[in-house]
Amino acid sequence: MKRWIRITLTVLTSMVGITAIAGGVALVIGAATSSTAGGAVPDSSYLGGSPFPSYIVPGLVLAVIVGGTHVLAAVLAGRGSPAGPFTAAVAGFGLLIWIFVQMMFIPFSALQAIYFAAGLAELGLVLLGLGVVRRDRVAAP
């Protein structure tokens, strides 16, 4: 994997991982204390059509699964591990699934678009890093 791809992938997965963990912790704390954690917890009416009575389970999933896979991907990609691209792909797909499911219950927000773009960028960087997609390809005339 080229150095610039590895560094970009490491930075992107780190940022997503840290913010996912912070967001998940905010959801859990907000749900446990019945506060809005400074506005970080969405209105509980969004849970109306979901299988969750509170934001505790979604918060744990966001922090542990989405955040955890991203932090792991950042560490492995940053170290240049052969498992780094695979882990980043898993994290990227996990993020896209998270956003798709979230959009079923929560109205559209700019953050959803930003994180969706981040997931696509992660997958694109993995494809570039593995040589599946090359930047130097020229379309046939």
List pLDDT tens digits, range 83-93: 999 999 999 99
Confidence check: pLDDT of 137 > 70: no
Q: Is residue 76 part of a domain?
A: yes
Q: Is residue 9 part of a domain?
A: no
What percentage of residues in the chain have a pLDDT greater than 90? 67
- Bigger pLDDT: 47 vs 139: 47
Confidence check: pLDDT of 30 > 60: yes
Cα(40)–Cα(22) distance, integer angstroms: 10
Summarize pLDDT for 96-132 with one digit per residue, the tens: 999 999 888 888 889 999 999 999 999 999 999 998 8
Question: Which pLDDT does position 134 carry in this prediction?
Answer: 72
Q: Is residue 47 part of a domain?
A: no
Q: Is residue 102 part of a domain?
A: yes
Domain assignment of residue 91, given as a range: 54-134
Continuous H helices in 34-109: 56-60, 68-78, 84-105
Confidence check: pLDDT of 24 > 80: yes
Q: Is residue 34 part of a domain?
A: no
Q: Is residue 65 part of a domain?
A: yes
Question: Which pLDDT does position 49 carry in this prediction?
Answer: 82
